[in-house]
A = this chain, B = another copy of it.
Amino acid sequence: MYTKIKRLLIGRPLKSNEMHSQKLNKLKALAVLSSDALSSVAYGPEQILIVLIAAGGAALWFSLPIALGVLILLIALVLSYRQIIFAYPHGGGAYMVSKENLGVNFGLTAGGALLVDYIMTVAVSVSAGTDAITSAFPALRTHTILVAVIIVVIITLLNLRGLTDSATLLSYPVYFFVLMMLLAIGTGLFQAFTGQAVPVHPHAAVGTPVMGVGLFLLLRAFSSGCTALTGVEAISNSIASFKDPAPKNAAKTLLMMGGILAVLLSGIVYLSFLFGIHPMSDQTVLSQLGSSIFGRNIFYYLIQISTALILVLAANTGYSAFPMLAFNMASDKYMPRPFKVRGDRLGYSNGIITLGVLSIILIIIFKGNTSSLIPLYAAGVFIPFSLSQTGMIIHWIRKRPKGWIPRLCINLVGALICYLILIIFFITKFAQIWPVLIFIPLLIFTFHKVHQHYMLVAKQLRVDLSIPLRSINTTDNVIVVPVAGITKVVEQSLTYAKSLSSNVVAVYIGASPQAIEKMEKEWKKWNTGIRLVTIHSLYRSIVNPLDRFIDTIKYRADKSGATVTIVFPQFYTKKWWQSLLHNQSGVLIKASLIRHADVVIATVPFRFKE
Contacts and interface: CB of A to CB of B under 8 A. Distances in A.
A463 B526 contact: yes
A359 B522 CA distance: 43
A498 B487 CA distance: 30
Interface in A593-610: 594-595, 598-605, 607-610
Interface in A517-543: 522, 525-530, 538-541
A434 interface: no
A495 B471 contact: yes
B488 A539 contact: no
A499 B471 contact: yes
A610 B499 contact: no
Contacts of A512: 16
Contacts of A463: 486-488, 490-491, 526
Contact of A461 (B487, B526, B581, B594): B487
Given A491-B469, A500-B474, A500-B500, A578 B453 contact: yes
A522 B464 CA distance: 11
A603 B601 contact: yes
A422 B527 CA distance: 59
B608 A457 contact: yes
Interface in A298-342: 336-338, 341-342
B528 A499 contact: no
Given A468-B527, A501-B500, A605-B594, A337 B490 contact: no
Identical copies in the complex: 2
Contact of A583 (B338, B450, B491): B338
Contact of A456 (B465, B494, B607, B608): B608
Contact of A465 (B522, B582, B599): B522
A539 B15 contact: yes
- Size category of the A interface is 35 or more
Nearest to A522: B465
**Interface hub of A457, A471, A499 (most chain B Cβ within 10 A):** A499
A460 interface: yes
A136 to B, nearest CB: 38
B594 A570 contact: yes
Given A337-B581, A572-B595, A581-B336, A526 B16 contact: no
A209 interface: no
A383 B19 CA distance: 70
Nearest to A457: B608
A473 B499 CA distance: 6
Contacts of A581: 336-337, 450, 453-454
A477 interface: yes
A466 B528 CA distance: 10
A550 to B, nearest CB: 13
A467 to B, nearest CB: 8
A15 B513 CA distance: 13
A501 B490 CA distance: 22
Interface in A560-576: 562-563, 565, 570, 572-573
Given A15-B538, A468-B526, A594-B603, 14 more contacts: A15-B539, A341-B540, A460-B608, A462-B487, A463-B490, A465-B525, A471-B495, A472-B499, A499-B562, A499-B563, A600-B602, A600-B603, A600-B605, A601-B602
16 contacts: A15-B538, A338-B583, A457-B608, A460-B488, A460-B609, A462-B487, A462-B488, A463-B486, A465-B522, A468-B526, A468-B527, A469-B528, A469-B530, A471-B498, A477-B499, A496-B563
Interface of A: 13-17, 336-338, 341-342, 344, 450, 453-454, 456-457, 459-463, 465-466, 468-474, 476-477, 486-491, 494-496, 498-501, 511-512, 522, 525-530, 538-541, 562-563, 565, 570, 572-573, 578, 580-583, 594-595, 598-605, 607-610
In order of increasing CB-CB distance, the 3 nearest A-B pairs are: A461-B487, A472-B499, A468-B527
